[in-house]
Each structure stands twice: as C-alpha cells, then as structure tokens.
Structure 1
Amino acid sequence: MDEPASPRRGRVTDVGGWEPLDRRPHPFAAVLTMAALVGVFVVALVGLGVAAEQGDRRVDVPDVLVPSVEGTGEDAARETLEEVGLLMEVSEAPNELVPRGTVFEQDPIPGARIEQGSAVSVGVSTGPAGPVVPDVVGQQISEATGVLVAAGLTLEVSEVADEDVRVGEVLGTEPVAGRQAGADRVVAVQVSSGPAPRTVPEVADRDVIEVVEELGRLELRPESIRRVVDESLADGTVLSIEPAPGTEVPRYGEVELVVVGTPEPVVMPAVEGLLRSTATEVLADTPLDVTFRVVALPAGDPRDGRVLRQGVAAMSEVPRGTPVELVVGSAPQLPAPTTTVPRGSEGSTTASTSTTIAN
C-alpha cells in the first residue's frame, strides 16, 4: 500500500500550481537596511549642525552712554534714563546738603558706556538726618512721649488692636529704634488699643448649646439665660440675644440669651424677723411678686416694723412671678415716762431725782 504524499510547502502562483518558497535571506535586504540607517544618521548630523550654528548666533545689543541724573528729582531721573533705554534702581539715604527727593549719586558715573537695558543705581536724598530714635517699645505712651520729645522728636500716634498687649502700650515705631529720623523729626508710634471688639452673632432659632459654644470661641460671656415657654418651638431653641446681633462689645463682654424652656424655679429667701427695709433689699433681685400687709401690735412691741410671717416658706422652690405676701407688724410708741418729785421745805428737790420742778 502506497504511503500518502507529504504536504507540499510553497505558494500558489497566478498561473496555478505550487511554487517552492525560498526562505534564505535576500542579498539586497541587508544593503537596503544599511542604507536606511546611514540616511537617518546623516539627517541627525545635519540637524545637530544647524542647531549648533543657531546656538552660536548672538543678538548684538547696542551700548549707550549713561546720562547724568545727579541733582534731578527721582521722577525726572527715571524719565531721563528710560529715554536712552536704561533702568533705574533707587536707594534712599539722608543727606545734609541735598534736598529731599533729589538724586545725589549714581553708578555707573555719567559718560560710562553700558548695554542698553542695564540698570543704573541712584541714591535719593531723604533730607538731613534727624535724631536717632530711642527704644520705647513696651512703654506706656505717656512715658514714651516724654522720652521721644526729650530726643527732639515729634510723635504721630496711631492705635492698633492687639489681643495680648495692654491698652496704651507702645507696639512699635517707624523709623525703628536705632535708626535716624527724617528731617521733619517725626516718628510714627503704634499703640495698643487692647483686644479688638467682638461682634454679637446671629443666634435666633439655633440650639442653645451651639450658641454658647460660639460665644465661648468669640470670648463673650452669657451673663444669664432666661427661659420662656413657647410650645411651637423645641426646648433649648434660642429666641434672641441682648445686645442685638451685629453690636460690637468688648472682649469678655456679657450677653443675655432668651431660650425656649420651662423657667428655672425660684428659691424663696428667709425674711421672717427682718426689718421691712432689709427684707425689701433681699427680695429686690428675686423674680417674685412681693406685697406687704401691715398688722397692728400692742404698744411697745419689739416686733414693730419687722416681718412677722412670709406667705411662702423659706427655701421652698416656686415658679417665677409667684405672689408672696409678707406680714409686717406695726406697734404704737409708748408715751415718755414722767417723774413726780415732792417739794421740800426749802423749795429744793431731793438728791435722788433728776427732774427739777419750777416754783
């Protein structure tokens, strides 16, 4: 039995039939590849050469002569230099001979040749130098004023809020200590006005705990929290604040809150036995409706003018506005005692009496 023929490897031509496929490297393939690489290399070299040529190319900047600006004002000097394409750098210094605001020196000197666009440094006079400013930082303004005036200086005082420095204490000076004042001998003095005022926040319809926390951050103190009944709002809802929102108050200033809730009960003080005037003082700040009823006492009764009974027991808790009646005793005064002294035979009184009866 004949064995089946092995599959033939090749390709089908347009004419038909199988054509053997030659897998050996083509002799021209290596040549073409090498030519392509050489071309890329040549292009790269050309590019580098062009870049190097452009890098060596420089833009020539013309030189200009530096004009003289000494003796001119600062603005005029700047304009003169800019006309020839130069910039100006300014430094100020006192000068006893040159008026304030006038150029008294320059660098480079006039006539020098420099590139256009360069800067010329000029010195501008601040006028004759004044006295050296003494160090007064940390002193009270009253004390600092004496020190500065004694140095021949004039003060311009301005207040600056500071959270830590006490009111009236000097924060700084301009010029600073150790520097010379200007020709006008004026020194600007910054003085602490104390902590900046706080603005009362808007608190309506917010929870009282949240409001109290915000007041703490603002360093404001809720002096009192007054509670009122309002069934339409939840307990703890803030209704208002006093002073009104937007008002500026000092640091640690006190505010009052009105909050929804059952008012706190009032403890009734003990006033029995006290004079009416004393009881009135004790109850003056108590939110109770106090009335007095006077009852008669026998003449000479020591309880005259004192509270005999109080309508609410002492130390008991009652709602705000509870009526409280205080019963006060009133006794007529006893008549002044009189002494009858028997008359002696000579018309004189006896030695045991202190009353003399005229004949």
Structure 2
Amino acid sequence: MSAHLRRALKEPMGDFARHIPTAKPQPVKKTSQKKRAHGALKIGITVGALVLALIGIFVVLRDVYQTESDHFEVVPTIVDRSVEEAKLKAENFGFAFDIQDYENNDTVASGDIILQSPEGGTKARLGTTIYGIVSLGPAAPLVPDLLGLSPDEARHALEESGLVLGSVSYRVSEVAIGYVCAQSIPPDTETTNGQTIDIVISASSETTFDMPHAMDLPLNLILDQLRIASFNNIYVRYAESDIVEDGVVYLQDPLPGTQVLPETPVMLTVCGKPVYPYQADIAFNISIDSSGTKVMIVLPETYNGLSYNRILFEGALEKGEKVPISFTATSDVEGTREVILYSDGAEVKRQDFTFIAKES
C-alpha cells in the first residue's frame, strides 16, 4: 500500500492518482408486448361494439319503418259519392267512414260527399276514420215579400230568389190599385228552387181582360189604343235603343195577354229622348227608411184626352234622412206645372215647378 502511495505522490495527475468511476448505463425500458397487445384488444372491442350498436339501431329502425309502412295505405277519394258508396269504398281500402257534418251546396247533389278528411290520395294508417261532409243540396230560398210591388217588380223579385211567378188574379183591397195585395206563400217561408208563387193584384173590380199589344208603334198611336181600352194608370219612360226608331214604343209591362183591369199600371218604354223648349230645375229632399227604396218622379201629361205620367227620374236610393234628388226636366209648355214624387209605388209629395224657355 505504501508503494501505491509513493507512486501517487510522484504522479499526482496520473490515472493512478484518482479513480473515476464509470457510470453504469441506464437500462432502456422496453414496452411490454403484453401491455401493447392488451390495449389494441380494448380498442378493437370498443370499435366493434359501436359498429354492432349502429347496425342494431339501423336494423331496428328499418324494421320499425317497414312495419309502419305496412300499416299505411293511400286514402281513397269519396267526394261526390253517396254516403253508402263512401262507406263501402272506405272499408274496401281498410278504412272506416263517418259523417262529420251536413252543409248546403249548390253543385253537389243532396246526400253526396262535399269534402273529406283525410283528403284522397294522401297516406293514412289502416283503420283510420275518413270523415265526410254531406251535401243538403242547394240552400232553400226564402219567399220574398211581394206586398205593395207591381206585377213586374214581383216577377223580378221572385226570379232573383230562384222562384217563378204563377197566376195573377185581382180583387178589391185597401192596397193601392195595381199592386200586390196577397201572395200564395207567406214571405220568409223556406221553399225549393223553381217553386211557383201566385199573386193577387189590388183592383177596384174583379172583372179582368187581356192586356193588348202596345208595342212597335209610335207613342201617340199606342196611347190612342190604351184610351179606347179605358186604361187610366199609364206611365211613359224614355230610353235609348238601337232596335227601333225614336218615338216608338219597344217595351210594355204588363205583357200582351196578361189579365188586367182599367186601373192596372201600364209602363211603356219609348225609344229616344223628348226634346222640349222649356225647362225647370227639380229638387226634392226625401227620407229613406231602408236602402234600395225605389223612387220615381213624374210629370202628368195629356194626349188626346188621355192622362198619363211621363217619368222624369227613377232609381233606388240608400237609407238616410233628407236624401237630396235634383235634376233638370223639360216640358212642352211654359209655366207652372205639378211634379209628383213616389216612393215604392206610394205617392209621397206633389210640388209645383216653373218651366221657362231654355237659354239660347
């Protein structure tokens, strides 16, 4: 040991003087093959489970869809079929049928289906109830109130309601002569389309005769005919027409052959417009109780001893207080003349107006 000491003192920098331990190499950790295999197995199992789950869900949904599809069917169309036909057709397709409601309909026959729910052509589950609305046919028209109307007005009122004017008879009554005083079916009664309604016209006598043909001749000749036939309630209106010459009567009411009385109102329509040298501004204020009230203003005229009324104004007015009516009328004579205002056939007012020469 002393020899080693002496050597170390002589060679202090030599390798003999110090001992440098050699570091031991660290062993490299190696992944366990067993652990790696175990992790891959877990991932594989997880992925497989997810795939199987997705496949299972797909299969279940497919089965459910197929099952649902197997229980659905196209709904048949039962509109325009009778209730019995609709029920039979619904059952043949695997559905039930029931009536939901009844409604009036102008195009679908009574007893047939107007609408259905679900609609035809759509899909619904087998066994679903198809509900139908059944037609009651056209709505039953109400008989209009004809009292106080002229025969022509009564006919128009019936036609607008889908009804037909039947026989026209006459009797003495308190209603103004020449107007309806009775009707065969009371007003506001429900009836059927095409129903015939008979009317009775108020008259001073029940002895009637045929209305003569009073058209296709100049007004003066027609007035002579009516004078000879003893008519005493004549109205003349003027209107343009391209079928006859000016001054010729081309419409009459009542029509030829109608049973009439001397006091029956006769309406003549003359082509053109009279040209007279004198004029007056006519003005009235009238209270109208209901919209649609018919107003007529006339100027009494005389021809060859026959009195008649020339219509200056006619129209339907809206409801209101002191509704104004104003226009310019003409006359064949100068001076003061009486003008008469009628409302729904009843005389309302008489008033004098002064006719003067037209300004040149």
**TM-score normalised to the size of structure 1?**
0.24
